A and B are shown apart, each in its own frame.
Chain A
Amino acid sequence: TQLLEQSPQFLSIQEGENLTVYCNSSSVFSSLQWYRQEPGEGPVLLVTVVTGGEVKKLKRLTFQFGDARKDSSLHITAAQPGDTGLYLCAVTDNYGQNFVFGPGTRLSVLP
């Protein structure tokens, strides 16, 4: 059983559309991170959310941490081809020893 589940697994949309991807777990976390990984590159941190119900905005990206701190969503407004990539959520494990990543959502934004 995966600690983190992400949905959808794949998403292909047209430029200008809006989308939401999800990260879910049955566990409670003190914080959660979202990363974006482009082909052939390492993941790059987008945001860290730490408070239940917290909403953070990064330009056209809106991140929300669930009230119970078990899930999170990433909403992209007016998607652009440059948003294409693998979106990964991650948490530190219960011992704070390592980062556990979800399987990711692979987003493709077509011009």
Chain B
Amino acid sequence: DSGVTQTPKHLITATGQRVTLRCSPRSGDLSVYWYQQSLDQGLQFLIQYYNGEERAKGNILERFSAQQFPDLHSELNLSSLELGDSALYFCASSDVGARGQMNTEAFFGQGTRLTVV
């Protein structure tokens, strides 16, 4: 058990809809990362939050947004869903120091499998 919790585990929705994926990081971790993994593909970095603020952005579509709340949990919002958005969405957390120094390990949740039909 990595200590990172993601809900829901599975989600099936129709094209054009909007969904919210939730992530609770490991206790004490300030940094949360979101990744997308399509079938048989690698992990594509979407976005990172640190202590409530957006820290880095990857190849995240404008239809997608995220936020990190004061209790450090994070949500990834996916809107106007398309068939191609079907994928595994992973959240990871990491213990970045208070001075923001580089971390070396990411702990992943079990992912949310999104199916758009």
Q: With contacts A44-B2, A88-B43 known, is A98 near B56, CB below 8 A?
A: yes
Q: List the A side residues contacting B88 at CB < 8 Å.
A: 40
Q: With contacts defined as CB atoms under 8 Å apart, how many contacts are there between chain A and chain B in the complex?
A: 68
Size category, A interface = 20 to 34
B106 is contacted by which of A30, A50, A90, A97 (Cβ under 8 Å)? A90
- A44-83: which residues lie under 8 A (CB-CB) from chain B? 44-45, 48, 50
- B65-112: which residues lie under 8 A (CB-CB) from chain A? 88, 90, 92, 94, 100-111
Is A41 a contact partner of B45 (Cβ separation < 8 A)? no
B28 within 8 A of A: no
B residues contacting the other copy or chain, number (CB 8 A): 30
Is A96 a contact partner of B103 (Cβ separation < 8 A)? yes
Q: List the B side residues contacting A40 at CB < 8 Å.
A: 88, 110-111, 113
Q: With contacts A41-B111, A42-B90 known, is A96 near B101, CB below 8 A?
A: yes
What is the distance, in angstroms, from A70's C-beta to the closest C-beta of chain B? 17
What is the distance, in angstroms, from B37's C-beta to the closest C-beta of chain A? 9
What is the distance, in angstroms, from B77's C-beta to the closest C-beta of chain A? 19
A85 within 8 A of B: no
Q: With contacts A42-B90, A44-B2, A96-B100 known, is A101 near B43, CB below 8 A?
A: yes
Is B108 a contact partner of A44 (Cβ separation < 8 A)? yes
Is A95 a contact partner of B56 (Cβ separation < 8 A)? yes
Q: With contacts A97-B56, A99-B92 known, is A104 near B104, CB below 8 A?
A: no
Give the CA-CA distance A95 to B94 in the complex, in Å: 15
Q: B residues touching A (Cβ–Cβ < 8 Å)?
A: 2, 4, 33, 35, 40-43, 45, 48, 55-56, 58, 88, 90, 92, 94, 100-111, 113
A sample of 18 inter-chain contacts (CB < 8 A) reads A33-B104, A33-B105, A43-B106, A45-B107, A88-B42, A92-B103, A92-B104, A96-B101, A96-B103, A97-B48, A98-B45, A98-B48, A98-B55, A99-B92, A99-B94, A101-B45, A102-B42, A103-B42
Taking A42-B2, A44-B108, A45-B107 as known contacts, 7 extra A-B pairs with beta carbons closer than 8 A to each other, sorted by chain A number, are A31-B102, A42-B92, A88-B43, A92-B103, A93-B56, A99-B33, A102-B42
